[in-house]
Amino acid sequence: MTPQSIPAGATTGPQQVDIDLADRSYPILIGTGLLDANTSYAGLPRAATALIVTNTTVAPLYAQRLQAALAGRYERVHTVELPDGESFKTWETLNRIFDELLSHACDRKTVLFALGGGVVGDMTGFAASSYMRGVPFVQVPTTLLAQVDSSVGGKTAINHPLGKNMIGAFYQPLRVICDLDTLKTLPARELSAGLAEVIKYGPIADMAFFEWIESHLDELLMQESHAMAYAVRRSCEIKAWVVGQDERESGLRAILNFGHTFGHAIEAGLGYGQWLHGEAVGCGLVMAARLSEALGLVDAAFVERLTSLVRRAGLPVVAPVLDAADNSNRYLSLMRVDKKAEAGEIKFVLIDGPGLATVRSAPDALVAKVIDASCIPA
């Protein structure tokens, strides 16, 4: 079973996608002008205090506007600015959020607002899950990657030098507010990084969407409003469909990690921050597709089609060398720390025919061949 495809032609008017998780269900709001709209925050719990968690890049752009929007709901609205970048997704940075909460004597009704990209969202969610054993939080993602992926579904985490996102919790937000206007300040590199997470949804669940991306990629790169609205909505619909069936990644939800096993190895191997997460995932999509071909699951034409789209999106398709002396074993050792690994056996999200994902292992020797081939410039 796959989610139903929706034809193109989205509007930029307010739209809503619901995450169905019984008493933890919540809406994803998508549209323009949402950051300043009172309706975006209607129904959120009242509290004496709200804390906006953002970073040094996003704060000058949007923190004051969010403070103004929240002023009518909360007596006090505090803001903490974290350093920007994947390399700061650490215990030390996480403690800055706790320091702010404790210094203002925030209680368990305090509402946290994650204003930023995936790093801010992940750390805010993890802090919310831990402070006083759980306080409410709201996602206000300002990057394409966060709007289509990391802000949705309740996965929160920080990194460890030996593995990405290995320390965290499943903790759902009260709401996700995707204001498409915030994407207009994204640097081109960040926009491309977000497109990697958009592209991944096609091969795992909806090839009609994949074809739509192929046809509308130029509009997405130019941030044409209707195209962007549709890409965000459809991505959220697919993720909501998956998360609604498997909240804690015990089975189906693992397919959302297509490209991530290779991608996380690249990030950890290079040192967090050298490649953006979406750049590593984009290259990982190509590597996972090549492994799928090596196992006889897809043909070379599909791999080339995906590679072409990833390249057109401005993403790398040639993997970096992580160890000049023994590159493939360096990749393999990093991938054995992946969350899907079981008893040291690496599990990959592979494409079992276009639009259908599978999770399975592969012989190390075959994976090593794919790594070696992927690190040679085309």
d(CA 81, CA 138): 16
- The catalytic position among 237, 257, 279, 347 is 257
31-64 b/e with 16+ CB inside 10 Å = b?
bbebbebeebbeebeebebbbbbbbebbbeebbe
- The catalytic position among 89, 164, 200, 264 is 264
Q: How many CB atoms lie within 10 A of CB 366?
A: 12
Could you confirm whether 239 is annotated as catalytic?
A: yes
Structure token digits, residue 185: 């300040």
1 contacts: CB under 8 Å, gap ≥ 6:
none
Is residue 18 a contact partner of residue 244, using CB atoms and an 8 Å limit? no
- The catalytic position among 155, 164, 200, 347 is 155
Could you confirm whether 197 is annotated as catalytic?
A: yes
Pick the closest to residue 142 from 83, 64, 194 (CA basis).
Answer: 194
- The catalytic position among 89, 200, 239, 347 is 239
186 contacts: CB under 8 Å, gap ≥ 6:
143, 144, 194
Strands 155-160 and 15-19: unpaired
- The catalytic position among 38, 46, 92, 133 is 133
Pick the closest to residue 377 from 322, 304, 316 (CA basis).
Answer: 316
- The catalytic position among 249, 267, 279, 293 is 249
Is residue 354 a contact partner of residue 298, using CB atoms and an 8 Å limit? yes
- The catalytic position among 175, 200, 233, 277 is 277
- The catalytic position among 89, 175, 233, 253 is 253
- The catalytic position among 197, 237, 267, 279 is 197
- The catalytic position among 89, 164, 200, 260 is 260
Could you confirm whether 277 is annotated as catalytic?
A: yes
Could you confirm whether 264 is annotated as catalytic?
A: yes
143 contacts: CB under 8 Å, gap ≥ 6:
116, 117, 118, 183, 186, 190, 193, 194
Q: Which residues pair with 137 in a beta bridge?
A: 112
Could you confirm whether 249 is annotated as catalytic?
A: yes
Could you confirm whether 96 is annotated as catalytic?
A: no
Could you give the residue numbers annotated as active site? Answer: 133, 155, 197, 239, 249, 253, 257, 260, 264, 277
